[in-house]
Structure 1
Amino acid sequence: MSAILIYTLRKNMALISTARGLIFLALLGIWASSQATCRTLHEPSSMLERHEQWMARYGRSYEDITEKEMRFQIFKRNVEYIESFNSVGNRPYKLSVNLFADQSNEEFQASHNGYKRTSNPTSSPVTAFRYENVTAVPSSIDWRKKGAVTPIKDQGTCGCCWAFSAVAAMEGITSITNGKSVSLSEQEVVDCDTSGEDQGCEGGLMDDAFKFIIQNKGLTTEENYPYKGVDGTCNKNKAASHAATIAGYEDVPANNEKELLKAVANQPVSVAIDASGSDFQFYSSGVFTGECGTELDHGVTAVGYGTAKDGTKYWLVKNSWGTSWGEEGYIRMKRDIDAKEGLCGIAMESSYPTA
């Protein structure tokens, strides 16, 4: 075989080998690209993508690029906080990236709380406490199971938690007394109870809401006077159609969880709490033990109590931030803590309507 022929064969073989290598590299690139595409579709690879997916999930949109960038930065900080919190394995409760994840804690407090703490609680008149002499209560109770709790509602960005708390307690005693569950109107309270401390979306007190309901001789139904989430003009015609009434209200002795337990054992009770912290904003599940003080700023309703599997005693609390927050709208808060005020001040200012 001539030298020229041998050279030509070797050159052709080299070209074939090079071509095979290039084909292999191309196929490898295609495979890697497909894997990256799969990760993009199923596993968010950046915080920007997570924000876009969160926006789609909760139907959130922004007016312009500047607002979107600001909201993204808040979202990023909140997600990092939530993930850092959850990374500690021995915590009794978890946080989640919920519908409030693009709001700063200050914004959230301003739009979702609204309880006006009594300026001088020691000067408040002492009311009767009908459960004072109760000596035995069940080890646990859940008024939802007894039909005394209506489905979770959502106050939106109106600071009328106080109205939702009072109405939920009234719905409870109405069901216990009459054997019928009826959803009553928070919007009637927001629109019509405006002559004193209660000022609709700008805040109020549960006790003052009870006073209004007594003077008004009752409340109409949610269906007749539906919730709008904004301050409105009182519709006196709708407000005159009473679906339920209360005879009065009583305050639970302050700073005493045992007395509060007696009341909750007998009916749902309006309670005020300090819900100002980020842990409360992003609470997802478990028994809440956490970061809160006693600067009462939110009205909710204690609808039961019990003991978790690990032995932790808790209050079962109905909130008004929709079902995507917490345990489908509820929170379990640690009970019997070593502080007379109770966790987040839950035992400081509580009351209930009477039939």
Structure 2
Amino acid sequence: MAPSALSLKLCILLSVLGILACQAASRPLAEATAMRKHERWMVRYGRVYADEAEKERRFKIFKENMERIEGFNRAGNRPYKLGINEFADQTNEEFRAARNGYKLPSLPRVEEETAWFKYENVSDVPASMDWRKKGAVTPVKDQGQCGSCWAFSAIAATEGITQLTTKKLISLSEQELVDCDVVKGEDEGCEGGYMEDAFKFIIKNKGIALESTYPYTAADGKCNAKEAASAAARISGFEKVPKNDEAALLKAVANQPVSVSIDAGDFSFQFYKSGVFTGPCGTMLDHGVTAVGYDKDANGTKYWVVKNSWGTSWGEEGYIRMERDIAAKHGLCGIAMDSSYPTA
């Protein structure tokens, strides 16, 4: 072999070995960086693990989630961003099990499917609406590790109609619903429930207590009949929004905050940070939230303003903007499939 050819092969071999050596050196560095980020995250969210084995397991989940989030944001092919939040050490399966507690009734309810929709003939709605700016929305709350989203959705809608009728914004009790609105196989506190059943309970109970009177514990408890009897707000009934009809939902939200059901099970929903959310998501409804407005962004993309119950570290200070008026009749993530609102 000619000396020049040998030299060339030697140079190539040394280059390859150099690249491999750099890669090997960078792996511990990347691991150390991820560990530092995890430690800072633990301090920020007050996370403490039972032992080193649990910490190691949670670190691996954290690192995998972080890498996936960074990859999503680098791709830049969606109009929204993901971000590390307090759920970063949970798998998507763990997260869904703890946070998504919407449960459809076990039996169909024909009378509710054909119920009156008082906004049916509304023909003129504002181009945008934000009930937060109109003083009808309380600060974002946090349901904790309890599948009580249904209670938070129903209470937010009830707080809204209460403010609209009394001109007073008061924070009402989700815990009363968790403890007292218990129907085996239907509403089961932290094991899930249904917003319309919550409205029925409030009507039957002749009202709902203040948050301060019956505070939230993020756990199932025994119904405190005395506190439950101290009604601070009442509703006279509730109505369903026509199914699979975003135009009808728009009419309702133009007039008051509305309880809506969505499919919030995707990884991108767990780590949503900002922007107009466009999916991916399906129609396997598993989460109750509250539509508190609508608008469009600078690019003309229409969206819903949705109040969640996962605290302010999630999303846009606890809210998500979800794309509106999509081609599918059920709306993005099924938002138009099952929604309702209280009347007073």
TM-score (norm 2): 0.89
By how many angstroms is 1:91 displaced?
2.0
By how many angstroms is 1:152 displaced?
0.3
- Structure 2 distance, partners of 1:54, 1:124, is 49
By how many angstroms is 1:195 displaced?
2.8
By how many angstroms is 1:291 displaced?
1.3
- Structure 1 distance, partners of 2:55, 2:43, is 14
- Match for residue 182 of structure 1? 170
- Read off the aligned partner of 1:237 and give its amino acid letter: K
Among candidates 317, 323, 329, match of residue 340 of structure 1: 329
- Match for residue 58 of structure 1? 45
Among candidates 80, 84, 102, match of residue 97 of structure 1: 84
Deviation track 1:122-176 (CA, whole Å, cap 9, x = no partner) reads 7463211000000010000000011100000000001000000000000000000
The answer on 1:299 being equivalent to 2:323 is no
The answer on 1:239 being equivalent to 2:225 is no
SS of structure 2 residue aligned to 1:87: helix
- Match for residue 26 of structure 1? none
SS of structure 2 residue aligned to 1:293: coil
- Structure 1 distance, partners of 2:53, 2:136, is 47
By how many angstroms is 1:48 displaced?
1.1
- Structure 2 distance, partners of 1:138, 1:131, is 14
The answer on 1:68 being equivalent to 2:55 is yes
Among candidates 135, 144, 155, match of residue 156 of structure 1: 144
By how many angstroms is 1:117 displaced?
2.5
- Match for residue 12 of structure 1? none
- Structure 2 distance, partners of 1:87, 1:178, is 48
Are the structure 2 counterparts of residues 122 and 338 from structure 1 closer, same or farther at C-alpha, using a change threshold of 3 Å?
farther
TM-score (norm 1): 0.86
The answer on 1:166 being equivalent to 2:146 is no
- Match for residue 136 of structure 1? 124
SS of structure 2 residue aligned to 1:46: helix
- Match for residue 212 of structure 1? 201
- Read off the aligned partner of 2:241 and give its amino acid letter: V
- Match for residue 86 of structure 1? 73
- Match for residue 275 of structure 1? 264
Among candidates 122, 128, 135, match of residue 147 of structure 1: 135
- Read off the aligned partner of 2:51 and give its amino acid letter: D
By how many angstroms is 1:89 displaced?
2.7
SS of structure 1 residue aligned to 2:75: coil
Unpaired runs of 5+ in structure 1?
A: 1-39
Are the structure 2 counterparts of residues 54 and 219 from structure 1 closer, same or farther at C-alpha, using a change threshold of 3 Å?
same
Among candidates 179, 190, 193, match of residue 191 of structure 1: 179
- Structure 2 distance, partners of 1:333, 1:52, is 32
- Read off the aligned partner of 1:84 and give its amino acid letter: G
The answer on 1:111 being equivalent to 2:107 is no
- Match for residue 30 of structure 1? none
Deviation track 1:37-85 (CA, whole Å, cap 9, x = no partner) reads xxx9xx9952111111111111111101111111011101100100000
- Match for residue 37 of structure 1? none
- Match for residue 251 of structure 1? 240
Note if contact 1:127-1:251 (Cα within 8 Å) is conserved in structure 2: yes
Are the structure 2 counterparts of residues 124 and 77 from structure 1 closer, same or farther at C-alpha, using a change threshold of 3 Å?
farther
Are the structure 2 counterparts of residues 121 and 88 from structure 1 closer, same or farther at C-alpha, using a change threshold of 3 Å?
farther
Q: Which has the larger radius of gyration?
A: 1
By how many angstroms is 1:120 displaced?
5.8
- Structure 2 distance, partners of 1:142, 1:45, is 44
- Read off the aligned partner of 2:173 and give its amino acid letter: S
- Match for residue 222 of structure 1? 211
- Read off the aligned partner of 1:247 and give its amino acid letter: S
By how many angstroms is 1:90 displaced?
4.1
By how many angstroms is 1:313 displaced?
0.1
- Structure 1 distance, partners of 2:313, 2:108, is 34
